Amino acid sequence: MLPLIIDQTSDTAEVILDKNQGTFEFSGTSMPDNTKKFFEPIISWIASYIESPNEETIVNFKMKYFNTSSTKSLLDIMIQFKEIAKNGKMLIINWHFPSDDEDMLEAGQGFSKMVRFPFNYIKY
């Protein structure tokens, strides 16, 4: 399975999805003009990945900011990854947040509740 790597821009997050390296990371800012167009290849890649995932999948979210329209897509991604755990494989979701950003911690806690899956919260 080929990796999906999207470089960060001023409006879009960096995305690294690499099954062979075991790297699944979302970082930066997400406020694309066309949210559906930006997230469509990511959601498609994850759909393929969950058909034959690694024994252990560790997903890191290191978001600095995301707009309301990105929230739904990020939630959809988390729900997709949760399928891995439902199918008996190891899934770990790490939510990284700046130590001085209580809002970003609360956003991660909100996602965890909506997905009904425990996250690790990591200050940086």
How confident is residue 60, by pLDDT bands cut at 50, 70 and 90?
A: very high
The whole-number pLDDT of residue 61 equals 98
The whole-number pLDDT of residue 85 equals 96
User: What is the CATH classification number for the domain harbouring 54?
Assistant: 3.30.750
- Pairing status of strand 23-30 against strand 14-18: antiparallel
- Tell me the residue ranges of DSSP E strands in the chain: 4-6, 14-18, 23-30, 56-66, 90-97, 120-123
Query: Tell me: the pLDDT tens digits for 86-123?
Result: 999 999 999 999 999 999 999 999 999 999 999 999 99
Q: Which domain holds residue 50?
A: 4-123
Torsion 1-22-10-109 (CA) sign: positive
> Terminus-to-terminus CA distance in the chain, angstroms?
32
Quote the CA–CA distance of 94 and 84 in Å, as a whole number: 15
Displacement of CA 27 from its chain's centroid (Å): 8
The whole-number pLDDT of residue 111 equals 98
Average confidence score pLDDT of the chain: 97
Domain count, the chain: 1
The whole-number pLDDT of residue 121 equals 98
Query: Tell me: the pLDDT tens digits for 17-31?
Result: 999 999 999 999 999
How confident is residue 8, by pLDDT bands cut at 50, 70 and 90?
A: very high
